[in-house]
Chains A and B, each alone.
Chain A
C-alpha cells in the first residue's frame, strides 16, 4: 500500500490538474494551505521586456564573438558558409608554412619572399633590422646549399640577394659589430665550402662576396681551413710510430709529409678540400689546434698502440736494429720530444699530462727497465741499444734524412703526440734512474736542444725525464 507521502503527492497532482481529490480528512487538512497558495494572486507578469531580451540574445548568439566571426560559434550552429573565413585563414597559414622551405624556381618561392618582406615591417630597431638582414642572407645561403645538394644550379639572383642582404646589414649603424662579424665569418665559411659547387659564372662573384664577408668578419683570408692538412701529419706521426713509419720513411726526406695525416685530428677543416697546399700555411694557422686534437688521439690510439707497442719492442729490436741502427732515427724521434721541451719545461708538461694517462700502460712496460738504462746511456753507444727499441727503428727511417727535417716539422711540437708515444718509454722507471740523466750536463742543454742538434736534445729530454717519467721514454728513443 502506498505511503501517506505518496497519497498526498498524488492528491496534490490531481488538485493541480483540476481533478477530484479523494475524501480524506487528513489529506484535506494538508491540501487546504496548498490550494490557498495556488490561488494566491501575483502581479501581472510583464512579458515585453523579457521577450525582447530573449530575441536579442537569439540574434547575438547567431553572430557572437571571435568564434562567431570565424563561423565556430558553437558546434550546434556550425554552418559551412560560416566556415569559409576560418578555412581561408587555415589555408593561408598552411601556404605560409609550406613556403618556408620553398626554393628559387618553385611556385611557393614568391610567397616566401613576400612573407619575408612582411616580416621586415615588424623589425623596428636597427639591431632587429640588422638581424633580419643577416637572417635573410642566411636563408639565401641555405637555399644555395640546398640547390647544390639536389644538383640544381644556384641562380645568380639568389647570390645577389645574399650579397645585398649583407650589404644592408653592414650599412646599419649602431649595431653590435661583434655579433655581425661572427655571423659574417660563419656564413663566409659556408660560402667558401659552397663556392666550388657554384656555377662557374657565379664563382667570381661569390669569391668577391666571400672576400667582402671576410672583411666584415675582420680577417683577410681563411687560411685556417687549409691548415688542417698539416695537422694530419701530427696525428699520423704518433700513430705511425708503431707501424706506418716505413711509409713515411720514403717520404722521410720531407718530414712534413708525414705530418699530413693529421687532418683527421682537425676534423673540422673541410677534410676533402685541403690536400697538399696547406703545407706552408699549416705551421702558421691551425697547427696549434692540432694540439687540441692530440688529446683525442692520445686517448684512443695510445691504448691500441700500447699493446702493439709492447710486443714491438721485443720483436722489433731484432729486426730493426741493424738497419735502423743508424741512431739517426732516434734523433728524429727525439726532435719531437725535445722540441716540446724546448718551448719550455712547462709546456712540455702540458703534453706530458696527456701522455701520463697513456703512460699508465707504460707502467706495464716498465718491466723493460733495461731500456731505461738505454736512455740513460745517452751516449751514442747507447744508441746501439736504442735500436733495440723497436719503435725507434720505425722512426729511424724518416729521421735518417737529417735531424733538420725533423726540426722543420716544428709542428711536431704541436704534435705532443710524439710524447704520447713516449709512454712506451714506459721508462717511467727511468725516473728512478734519473740520477744518471741528471748527471749529464744536459739540463743546460734542455733549453737549447730544440735549437741545437736533435741528438743533444734527445739527451736533453732525459733531464726533462728526470722530472717526468713519461718523457724518459722519448729519451730512450733517442738512445
Chain B
C-alpha cells in the first residue's frame, strides 16, 4: 500500500515538474494548470500576430487592443477545452480572435471598417523597421485591393500573411483541406496582384 502511495506521489511530482516551454503540448499542459510562466510565454509568442490580425480585421487599434485582452481572457478560461487537432495553439488562438471580430461586428452592427485605414503610429513589422518601413502610398493600394477580394480570399490572405499561420493551421480555422487552402491562396494572390495592377500600383516590380 505504501509503495503505491509513494509511486503515486512520485508521478505527481514528476507531472508537476517543469516541462519545456518550447513544445506546444508541454506549454498547453502547464497552461492548463494556470502556470503563470507558461501564460507569459504564450502571450509573448502570439500577441503580436494576433494583434495584427485583429487590427486588420477591425481597423481600430483601440478596439484591437480590447479584443486582444478579451482573447487572452477567453483563452485562460477555456484552455481546458483545447484540443491539439484545433490547428495547434496558434490555430486555436486565431480562431478565438476570428470569433471575437465577428462578435465585434455583430455587437456594433456596423460594416467591417477598412482594414488598412492607417491612423495610428506605425512601425514596420519585422526585425529591421528601417528597412521595411513603407510609405502610406503602398499601404493605401493594398487596402483598396484587399477590399475588392472575396471574403474567403481576404481571410486566407490575412491569416496567412498577417497572422503568419501555416497552411495546415489556416485549413483548420477555415474548415478546409490544406489542398483547398493552397488553391484558394493561389487565387487570392493572383486576384490581389490583378487589383494592384489595375489600380496603377507599381511597387510590385
Q: Give which listed residue, A30, A36, A55, A76, contacts B32 with CB less than 8 A.
A: A76
- What 1/0 mask marks residues of chain B from 9 to 40 whose CB sits below 8 Å from any chain A CB? 00000000000000000000000111010010
Asked whether, in the complex, the Cβ of B189 is within 8 Å of the Cβ of A30, the reply is yes
A53, B72: Cα distance in complex, Å? 7
A56, B39: Cα distance in complex, Å? 12
Among the listed stretches A40-48, A450-458, A459-467, which one makes contact with chain B, having 4 or more residues with CB under 8 Å of it?
A40-48
**Contacts A39-B126, A41-B124, A74-B80 known; A50 to B69 CB distance under 8 Å?**
yes
Asked whether, in the complex, the Cβ of B36 is within 8 Å of the Cβ of A58, the reply is yes
Residues of chain B with a CB closer than 8 A to A32's CB: 193, 204-205
Asked whether, in the complex, the Cβ of A41 is within 8 Å of the Cβ of B182, the reply is no
Q: Is B98 an interface residue (CB 8 A)?
A: no
Q: Is A439 an interface residue (CB 8 A)?
A: no
Asked whether, in the complex, the Cβ of B77 is within 8 Å of the Cβ of A61, the reply is yes
Asked whether, in the complex, the Cβ of B39 is within 8 Å of the Cβ of A58, the reply is yes
Asked whether, in the complex, the Cβ of B80 is within 8 Å of the Cβ of A58, the reply is no
Choose among A34, A45, A75 the residue with the greatest number of B CB atoms under 10 Å from its CB: A45
Residues of chain B with a CB closer than 8 A to A40's CB: 116, 125, 134, 138-139, 142
Residues of chain B with a CB closer than 8 A to A170's CB: none
| B161 (CB) vs chain A CBs: closest residue | A37
- What 1/0 mask marks residues of chain B from 31 to 51 whose CB sits below 8 Å from any chain A CB? 011101001000100011001
Q: Is B7 an interface residue (CB 8 A)?
A: no
- What 1/0 mask marks residues of chain B from 112 to 142 whose CB sits below 8 Å from any chain A CB? 0000101011111110000011100011001
Among the listed stretches B84-92, B100-108, B162-170, which one makes contact with chain A, having 4 or more residues with CB under 8 Å of it?
B162-170
Residues of chain B with a CB closer than 8 A to A46's CB: 61, 65
A57, B52: Cα distance in complex, Å? 22
Q: How large is the interface on B (under 10, 10 to 19, 20 to 34, 35 or more residues)?
A: 35 or more
Asked whether, in the complex, the Cβ of A61 is within 8 Å of the Cβ of B76, the reply is yes
Asked whether, in the complex, the Cβ of B193 is within 8 Å of the Cβ of A41, the reply is no
Q: Give which listed residue, A41, A53, A74, contacts B133 with CB less than 8 A.
A: A41
Residues of chain A with a CB closer than 8 A to B121's CB: 43-44
**Contacts A5-B179, A29-B193, A43-B122 known; A37 to B36 CB distance under 8 Å?**
no
Asked whether, in the complex, the Cβ of A36 is within 8 Å of the Cβ of B138, the reply is yes
Asked whether, in the complex, the Cβ of A38 is within 8 Å of the Cβ of B125, the reply is yes
Q: Is A4 an interface residue (CB 8 A)?
A: yes
Q: Could you tell me the dominant secondary structure of chain B's interface residues?
A: helix
Asked whether, in the complex, the Cβ of A42 is within 8 Å of the Cβ of B125, the reply is yes
Asked whether, in the complex, the Cβ of A41 is within 8 Å of the Cβ of B68, the reply is no
Q: Is A404 an interface residue (CB 8 A)?
A: no
State how many angstroms separate the Cβ of B64 from the closest Cβ of chain A.
Answer: 8
Q: How many A-B residue pairs have CB under 8 A?
A: 151
Asked whether, in the complex, the Cβ of B69 is within 8 Å of the Cβ of A53, the reply is yes
Q: Give which listed residue, A13, A44, A47, contacts B166 with CB less than 8 A.
A: A13
**Contacts A13-B166, A41-B122 known; A51 to B43 CB distance under 8 Å?**
yes
Q: Is B183 an interface residue (CB 8 A)?
A: yes
A32, B145: Cα distance in complex, Å? 14
Q: Give which listed residue, B80, B166, B190, B203, contacts A36 with CB less than 8 A.
A: B203
| B66 (CB) vs chain A CBs: closest residue | A49
Q: Is B83 an interface residue (CB 8 A)?
A: no
Asked whether, in the complex, the Cβ of B125 is within 8 Å of the Cβ of A6, the reply is no
Asked whether, in the complex, the Cβ of B33 is within 8 Å of the Cβ of A76, the reply is yes
A6, B183: Cα distance in complex, Å? 9
Residues of chain A with a CB closer than 8 A to B124's CB: 39, 41
Q: Is A8 an interface residue (CB 8 A)?
A: yes
Residues of chain B with a CB closer than 8 A to A50's CB: 43, 47, 51, 65, 68-69, 71-72
State how many angstroms separate the Cβ of B61 from the closest Cβ of chain A.
Answer: 4
Q: Is A9 an interface residue (CB 8 A)?
A: yes
| B192 (CB) vs chain A CBs: closest residue | A33
A277, B76: Cα distance in complex, Å? 83
Q: Is B157 an interface residue (CB 8 A)?
A: yes
State how many angstroms separate the Cβ of B71 from the closest Cβ of chain A.
Answer: 8
| A26 (CB) vs chain B CBs: closest residue | B190
A371, B68: Cα distance in complex, Å? 109
- What 1/0 mask marks residues of chain A from 5 to 31 whose CB sits below 8 Å from any chain B CB? 110110011001000000000000111
Q: Is B172 an interface residue (CB 8 A)?
A: no
A16, B169: Cα distance in complex, Å? 15
A411, B179: Cα distance in complex, Å? 101
Residues of chain B with a CB closer than 8 A to A55's CB: 36, 39
State how many angstroms separate the Cβ of B133 from the closest Cβ of chain A.
Answer: 7
Asked whether, in the complex, the Cβ of B80 is within 8 Å of the Cβ of A37, the reply is no
A414, B183: Cα distance in complex, Å? 100
State how many angstroms separate the Cβ of A474 from the closest Cβ of chain B.
Answer: 85
Asked whether, in the complex, the Cβ of A57 is within 8 Å of the Cβ of B61, the reply is no
| A37 (CB) vs chain B CBs: closest residue | B161
Choose among A9, A16, A56, A77 the residue with the greatest number of B CB atoms under 10 Å from its CB: A9
By a beta-carbon cutoff of 8 Å, the part of chain A in contact with chain B is 4-6, 8-9, 12-13, 16, 29-34, 36-47, 49-58, 61-62, 74-77
By a beta-carbon cutoff of 8 Å, the part of chain B in contact with chain A is 32-34, 36, 39, 43, 47-48, 51-52, 55-56, 61, 64-66, 68-73, 75-77, 80, 116, 118, 120-126, 132-134, 138-139, 142, 145, 157, 160-162, 164, 166-167, 179, 182-183, 185-186, 189-190, 192-193, 196, 203-205
Further pairs besides A40-B138, A50-B71: 12, Cβ < 8 Å = A5-B186, A8-B185, A8-B189, A29-B204, A38-B125, A39-B132, A40-B134, A41-B123, A42-B51, A45-B48, A45-B55, A53-B73
Q: Sample 24 A-B pairs with CB under 8 A, ordered by A number.
A: A8-B189, A9-B167, A9-B182, A34-B160, A34-B189, A38-B162, A38-B164, A39-B124, A39-B125, A39-B134, A41-B122, A42-B123, A43-B61, A46-B65, A49-B69, A50-B72, A51-B43, A53-B69, A55-B36, A55-B39, A57-B72, A57-B76, A58-B34, A61-B77
